[in-house]
Amino acid sequence: MRRNLLLAAAAATVAVVSLAGCGDAGSSGTEAPPSAAVGAGCAPVAGDALVVLEDDKKLQNTDNVIPAINKKASSPQMIAALDKVSAALDTTKLIALNKAVDIDRKSSKAAAEEFVTANNITAGIEKGPGGKITVGAGNFTESATLGEIYGLALTAAGYTVTVQQIGNRELYEPALEKGSVAVVPEYAATLATFLQGKVDKNGQDPSSNDLDTTVKNLTALGDKVGLVFGKPAAAQDQNAFAVTTAFADKNGLKTLSDLAAKCSGAATVLGGPAECPQRPKCQLGLSEVYNFQAGKFSSLDAGGPLTKSALKQGSVSVGLVFSSDGSLAAG
């Protein structure tokens, strides 16, 4: 399973909803409320290539990739090596890494080695105090590949590194706190919300659509549980809304504001997980932030094969995906 989604309902609950809770897959074609269909809308257009519409009003929180580090295990050289990875990693490169593993069927280790070589990651890295460390990773390929990249950077910094896929956040985060795992590739907004739930379940959601705010809150929460962080990468893995390039070209769309202005109405079909209509980072948020109104909602999955197939086959106009999905790679 991929990282936990910020599809969560009320922010005040700081509850993190895992993908396992995104609802059963299907294609119910659930009708939107009658008031939703405000115009003609834009019927689906089939096509093999998908493109994410820019979230120009920043509906989504800042789930930038960020190194999470056990404070006692950290050193300036370790953080500097991980920061070099962050400086080289943007969303386009993260998409390419996911394509290499998920579509081209390379191993995470091979994809990581190619990335490190292409971006000259290990050149000039200063040696740290050394010793044996474990880099942990979540149980999905993106995290595994990022873990391998971190491992190569830290090997260049003089550490003897083991990279280990551990499982979900509920398993690897306690190991990170205890120090049996030294480093994990994480996601800023989701981890901040997760840690807030551990530190104070009744506290305000620390995640934000402003990266500086999210990292500031994450740093404060990390300090309470013995974690420090490297610099966030430009790369993000978060909720996004995709259309086929044919649909975007036909309707002149580049942003979600374009979608709302040109495609609100009866013919537009939104696809996503079953709970999407009630979630502030899905249909509810599109309505409140962009005033986008779909004519119909089709219950599919959370950024998975059902949603992507429905887009490509012309069953839905726009669908919820992950911004770093390998299927979004150009060409």
**pLDDT tens per residue across span 68-125:** 999 999 999 999 999 999 999 999 999 999 999 999 999 999 999 999 999 999 999 9
Residue 23 CA to residue 33 CA, distance in Å, equals 20
On whether both 23 and 40 belong to a single domain, the answer is: yes
On whether both 88 and 170 belong to a single domain, the answer is: yes
On whether both 37 and 155 belong to a single domain, the answer is: no
Instruction: Quote the pTM value.
Output: 0.87
On whether both 98 and 208 belong to a single domain, the answer is: yes
Owning domain of residue 40: 11-60+238-328
Number of domains present in the structure of the chain: 2
Beta bridge mates, 136: 164
In a domain, 5, yes or no: no
On whether both 99 and 141 belong to a single domain, the answer is: yes
Looking at residue 331, the DSSP 8-state letter turns out to be: -
Q: Is 181 helix (H, G, I), strand (E, B) or coil?
A: coil
Nearest Cα neighbor of 256 from 215, 190, 209, 187 is 209
pLDDT in tens, 249-302: 999 999 999 999 999 999 999 999 999 999 999 999 999 999 999 999 999 999
pLDDT computed for residue 160 by the predictor: 98
Please state, rounded to an integer, the average pLDDT across all residues of the chain: 90
Mean pLDDT (whole number) for 183-196 = 97
Q: Are strands 159-167 and 183-187 parallel, antiparallel or unpaired?
A: unpaired
**Are residues 235 and 64 in contact, defined by beta-carbon separation less than 8 angstroms?**
yes
